[in-house]
Amino acid sequence: MNKHNLKVGQTLYVRLVDRYHQANKVDFIELKVESIGRKWATVTQKGYTRRRRVDIDTLELEDGRGTIWLSPAAYTEAKALREAWHAFLTAIDMARYRPPRGLTVDAINEARAKLCL
């Protein structure tokens, strides 16, 4: 099932970090979709003949060396979500033995419901 609605000719992006893992240096390589099958999409990088396969459900490269993004903005949004979640969990961990002042059982239950926990 092609849940990302990939189309032949569509541009996808793979994120590469430089070899020294510098946090501020993020490059995206553009890939073009050449064909789409039941499980895999075949993509190529401009100027290269090597074809790579991408799982059309997970957008993972077949060789496991990266995740494909529909746009650079999609990567930025996912990264912001991961960072916010990590900060939230860190704050929860720091308050694990004593709840913050003014916190009520109803507020805890509401937060759990919103987080689907």
Q: Among 70, 86, 106, identify where a domain stops.
A: 70
Residues 12 and 53 in one domain: yes
Domain, as residue range, for 1? 1-70
Residues 2 and 54 in one domain: yes
Residues 63 and 99 in one domain: no
Residues 66 and 19 in one domain: yes
- The whole-angstrom separation of Cα 54 and Cα 64 is 10
Residue 55 confidence (pLDDT)? 92
CA 27 to chain CA centroid, Å, is 15
Please give the average pLDDT of every successive group of 10 residues along the chain, which has 117 residues: 86 73 67 94 88 91 84 90 93 84 92 90
Residues 2 and 59 in one domain: yes
Residue 24 confidence (pLDDT)? 55
Selection from 62, 66, 117 nearest residue 88 by Cα: 117
- The whole-angstrom separation of Cα 32 and Cα 43 is 5
Residue 70 confidence (pLDDT)? 92
Which tokens go with 93?
A: 């961990």
Give me the residue label for tokens 């849940």: 3
Regarding pTM above 0.75, the answer is: no
Beta bridge partners of 54: 41, 61
Selection from 46, 48, 21 nearest residue 32 by Cα: 46
Residues 83 and 56 in one domain: no
